[in-house]
Structure 1
């Protein structure tokens, strides 16, 4: 857990920490937890603007992060500035009022349940129970047909690019027919030098997780198990 930022003014108080638990669904890169307090007598619009600037900046830098904003909002509604956030507490937390709210940027992320007061606090506790289903459990993997470029495919493709003259009709060049023939020829050459194979793609797989990246990760794990510190530094450098 790392402290990201803290802010305190007459409008709002909040602190932001970044977490990376041992287990985290692959679709999330990190977790940001924002604990805040907005006094009941302040201008909630101005207070929410301060909170919006802090959260939106982190969202721009970490678009795949999970954001949890919680604590005492009093009369403020975070959805007025962050409409894509979802509120999970649906019961009173102080007397008959629902003041302690939990917002996340993922719908159905948690199920909230009331718990007894802590110490002498006049607010009850809120327990969050995870209700999120990882993407890999929600959808089946897809079988895709991809083309791979074997060694020497680029030079072989260059050798076969010898286009014939454009089709003519008297003094007029039929550009549409010529374009069609060129595209068809390029497609044929591409099919001749590449190899098609089937791969399995999971719903939570990142686009940058290629075969080369898998090989680098496998190499890193191998040298880590062997205890070779120099080779491990080299493997980390290649990954970064």
Structure 2
């Protein structure tokens, strides 16, 4: 799921990711908001090999001349293209919505009907209450048609919070965890700690008992790390990637700024 702010100029990168990264190649769905696709943009500009494209471009009813747009790319190895149907499509100044029905090759026994995927984009200038009302109406219609179907909602809601209008839907909560904040200063302090350690004391105390010596040294090293390297508390979301470090985030921001200046 991503707010791409223009999909066509990112297709080369997505094509490379789906070819070379297993996480992208084997994923079931790629969901995009703010595709910036228009009626003048051919499907070939946003297609990926092995994926079926469904798009809902921003229309005149939105009252805006550019921006917006939704797209869903369904993995052909996960779902037959003939078993994909657009159930709802809505575009106004407050919300853009695309509801897709899919029946994958394998469907858990608990779900007797094809699953429904609702992709939503609510602009920052939208009336949040009006947008949530439209979303509630669309979801209610889908649930009335097939009450037992699995219904997923994803998108960019900005300031709108559908929790009050859709209280039975839940979101994976963020997990708070503590991580070490490594730096050159912390590494130097840890080196000083090790340099002043009398390591012979450990070998003298445990003799030739290698297992006991290993456990003792490990505990001591962890003790030094705990007392030397500072920690910080971070929130980890379900879609957070472990390889996205603060340095990479800074580079991504620079990339977006460079693109905006160039455009």
The answer to which structure has the higher strand fraction is 1
Q: Which has the larger radius of gyration?
A: 1
Measured against the shorter chain, the TM-score band is 0.3 to 0.5
